[in-house]
């Protein structure tokens, strides 16, 4: 959130053997194409959704509601996403540090734990990320995550708790950490049982694809037993260089414009992300054969007794580690009156290298149907530059308090298309859609592909109901 085209075993196509030849697969006719392939699913006319394979939706970075809970009293408060008092609550209850002994990122408040609500069969946490009445009345679409896709699937006949489920998770953690892996295993088993023993179709977004890769690598037998198809959307298979490099140096702004004043600030988010294994796991893969290696550039001022010079320094994926170390060496935060040092974390970097190996080892089961949708047509950060020739950086720690200048490539605005399409698998289909990183979850063309691959139609009903989301937090 896999350098399969650069060293990963490339799986050859494997013929799918239908265990019951009498079953006739009806394939969605789309874009004039007619074919007969089990990977395109079996269309069902059953209106109650009991005759479709279950679908599990998996979110990515920042795509799950997080609750804060006092360990003693059991009182839960939504801390992500929230608009009102967002920055204050985030600092108090979400700021964390990495524990190298356990591998988990833990909140600075020892009396608090972070939970992901499992209401509505896991769908609540990934639907509308701030389900407060104010956000609904304003229809603030920035927080509408899987909402449109859930609505679409319900209209196609899927039923929550029987054939439609969601998996939100603590996205601060590593994509291969035990708690996340066990949570996914439990969710797959639940969907399998609730649907009468059917295999599950996974639809993942963004970093959720890396989570699935880790699960497939570490629990291949379980994956083969419970998963039928995987539709992967906007996954940073080889990393998201521009966005992730800058996230570690200056932070991340999820909402732009006027609304950002009510949201978690860029710097507040930075102080969390520098301690998140998931972020380190999305750094550019240095072993991938990029068309052009992603770089961090710094206009640097060098002074001696006699003269001053300004040079443009460049750092590739490997050299950037030295830059991170120097730039973050004095990074710290004030928590409850105490200063907490937050330098570049080499323990997390080491863990992330292990995750990259886990992802490298991931293999699709025989006869498995994999699909990849990636976004294009949006300027996507690739190289990032700090300072300028007229206003250079003298001490690298100044980078953390500067604003970046990007050079762009084609992609979804977050993940370069070059990375998102480099899954290295033998995909049934790999398609580009002109959509942004979050907008892809509301895109009608994406929905047509999803319906095609699942083998379903959107049904027009007189009394069809859209997905209802109720704020379950206080």
Give the residue numbers marked as catalytic.
206, 412, 437
- Write the CB contacts of 402 (distance below 8 Å, at least 6 apart in sequence): 250, 386, 387, 393
Q: Which residues pair with 302 in a beta bridge?
A: 309
Q: What angle do CA 53, 56, 57 make, to 5 degrees?
A: 140
Quote the DSSP letter at residue 468. P
> What tokens were used for 254?
């999820």
How far is Cα 9 from Cα 312, in angstroms, rounded to an integer?
38
- How would DSSP label each residue in 219-285? SHHHHHHHEEEEEEES--TT--HHHHHHHHHT---SS-GGGGGGS--HHHHHHHHTT-HHHHTTS--
- How would DSSP label each residue in 17-78? --S-TTPPPPPP-BTTB----GGG------TTSTTS--EEEE--TT-S-EEEEETTT--EEE
Residue 437 CA, distance from chain mean position: 10
Region label for 218, one of left (φ > 0), alpha (ψ between -120 and 50) or beta (otherwise): alpha
| Phi/psi at 223 (5° precision) | -60, -45
How far is Cα 184 from Cα 172, in angstroms, rounded to an integer?
16
Q: In what order do the strands lie in the sheet with 112-115?
A: 76-80, 66-70, 112-115
The count of C-alpha atoms lying within 13 angstroms of the C-alpha of 349, restricted to the half-sphere facing its C-beta, is 15
How far is Cα 131 from Cα 134, in angstroms, rounded to an integer?
8
């Amino acid at each position: 959130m896999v350098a399969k085209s650069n060293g990963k075993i490339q799986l050859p196509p494997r013929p799918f053997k239908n265990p019951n030849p009498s079953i006739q697969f009806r394939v969605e006719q789309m874009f004039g194409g007619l074919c007969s392939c089990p990977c395109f699913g079996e269309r069902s006319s059953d209106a109650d959704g009991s005759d479709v394979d279950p679908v599990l939706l998996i979110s990515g970075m920042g795509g799950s509601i997080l609750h804060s809970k006092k360990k003693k009293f059991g009182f839960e408060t939504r801390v992500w996403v929230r608009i009102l008092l967002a920055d204050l609550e985030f600092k108090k209850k979400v700021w964390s540090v990495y524990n190298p002994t356990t591998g988990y990122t833990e909140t600075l408040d020892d009396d608090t734990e972070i939970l992901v609500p499992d209401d509505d069969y896991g769908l609540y946490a990934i639907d509308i990320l701030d389900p407060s009445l104010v956000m609904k009345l304003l229809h603030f679409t920035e927080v509408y995550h899987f909402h449109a896709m859930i609505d679409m699937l319900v209209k196609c006949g899927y039923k929550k708790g029987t054939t439609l489920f969601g998996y939100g998770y603590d996205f601060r953690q590593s994509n291969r950490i035990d708690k996340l892996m066990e949570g996914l295993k439990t969710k797959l088993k639940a969907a399998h049982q609730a649907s009468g023993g059917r295999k599950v179709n996974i639809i993942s977004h963004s970093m959720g694809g890396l989570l699935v890769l880790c699960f497939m690598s570490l629990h291949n037998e379980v994956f083969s037993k419970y998963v039928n198809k995987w539709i992967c959307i906007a996954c940073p298979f080889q990393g998201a260089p521009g966005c992730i490099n800058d996230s570690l140096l200056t932070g991340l702004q999820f909402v732009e414009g006027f609304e950002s004043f009510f949201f978690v600030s860029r710097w507040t988010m930075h102080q969390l992300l520098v301690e998140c294994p998931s972020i380190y796991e999305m750094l550019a893969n240095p072993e991938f054969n990029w068309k052009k290696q992603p770089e961090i550039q710094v206009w640097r001022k060098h002074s001696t007794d006699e003269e001053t010079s300004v040079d443009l320094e460049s750092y590739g994926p490997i050299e950037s580690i030295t830059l991170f170390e120097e730039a973050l060496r004095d990074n710290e935060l004030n928590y409850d009156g105490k200063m907490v040092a937050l330098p570049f974390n080499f323990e997390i970097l080491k863990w992330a290298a292990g995750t990259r190996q886990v992802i490298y080892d991931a293999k699709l089961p025989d006869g498995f149907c994999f699909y990849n949708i990636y976004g294009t047509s949006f300027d996507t950060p690739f190289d990032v530059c700090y300072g300028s020739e007229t206003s250079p950086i003298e001490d690298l720690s100044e980078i953390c308090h500067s604003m970046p200048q990007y050079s762009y490539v084609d992609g979804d605005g977050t993940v370069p298309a070059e990375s998102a399409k480099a899954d290295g698998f033998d995909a049934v289909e790999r398609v580009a859609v002109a959509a942004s990183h979050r907008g892809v979850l509301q895109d009608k063309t994406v929905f047509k592909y999803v319906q095609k691959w699942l083998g379903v139609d959107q049904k027009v009903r007189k009394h069809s109901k859209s997905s209802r989301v109720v704020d379950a937090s206080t």
